[in-house]
Amino acid sequence: MAFSNSSPPILALPRWWHQLFSFASFSKAEERRPLDNHHGRIIISGLDAAGKSTILYQIFEETRIVTTMPTIGLTLETISHYETTFTSFDVGGSGSTYMLRMLKYVYTDFDDCCGIIWVVDSNDRERTPDVKKELWSFLNEWLPGAVPILVVANKQDLPNAMSVGDIERELKLHEIKGRRWHVQGTKALTRDGIRECLEWLSDTASAHRLPGKKLEMTDW
């Protein structure tokens, strides 16, 4: 998602919108998965078109193919599943810094954030510098304390995709201090790697959750 400086972002959907997804996903949840017993919030972020919404839906849907539309404006996509909520948002585009500031103001319950999924389009080599800039700005200015970060190297099915090692080097992930991090390759369209993502988060995010808080995943 991108928007120009001249057109400030707006909250594109009412706050109750995610309840539709809560209802839809709840009925499908028969088999317990790695994060099902956790509490807190997990944020899914990254540049536009990286695959955030696809990953969000693949975590919960049983279908093999997921169709997504570009997430427009300052749109939060949130899905609740048992005690877990995933919320997704975009940080790309020229208005991203303004948007993050506004989100901090509007949406104040990030104190319960216990993990981040940062989605990268591994096939989009041209935008690697943008990804690096946004990721580090996010880590330095936005993400509280020692919250663990899972970098998802998505679109591994595409022939020009950077490897997990390439992404680790390009984004200088080894310079991350004071928090656990990991890179997981995924092919979100076919769900490859999604379970591994959840397993890593299950091991690490729980250490950062607040007692008694519901686990939520937020695709911003």
Binding footprint of Mg ion on the chain (CB under 5 A): 52-53, 71
Q: Of 150, 137, 111, 117, whose CA–CA distance to 43 is shortest?
A: 117
Closest approach, Cβ 145 to Mg ion, in A, equals 27
**Residue in the block written with tokens 């969000």:** 56
Whether residue 49 is annotated as binding a ligand: the answer is yes
187 binds ligand GTP (CB under 6 A): yes
x-or-dash pattern for ligand GTP, window 113-152, by CB under 6 A?
Answer: ----------------------------------------
Q: For residues 183 and 181, give the distance between their C-alpha atoms in angstroms, rounded to a whole number.
A: 7
From the number of C-beta atoms within 10 Å of its C-beta (0-12, 13-18, 19+), residue 38 rates as buried
1 binds ligand GTP (CB under 6 A): yes
52 binds ligand GTP (CB under 6 A): yes
Whether residue 153 is annotated as binding a ligand: the answer is no
83 binds ligand GTP (CB under 6 A): no
Q: Which is nearer to ligand GTP, 40 or 93 (CB)?
A: 93
Q: Of 47, 103, 104, 58, whose CA–CA distance to 81 is shortest?
A: 58
Question: Which of these segments, 21-29, 35-43, 65-73, 177-185, binds ligand GTP (CB under 6 A)?
Answer: 65-73
Task: Mark 69-89 as b/e (b = at least 16 C-beta within 10 Å).
Answer: eebeebbbbbbbbbebbbbbb
Closest approach, Cβ 116 to Mg ion, in A, equals 16
**Residue in the block written with tokens 């990286």:** 50
Tell me, what amino acid is at 30? Answer: E
Tell me, what amino acid is at 114? Answer: C
x-or-dash pattern for ligand GTP, window 88-117, by CB under 6 A?
Answer: --x---------------------------
Whether residue 132 is annotated as binding a ligand: the answer is no
Q: Report the binding-site residues for Mg(2+).
A: 53, 71
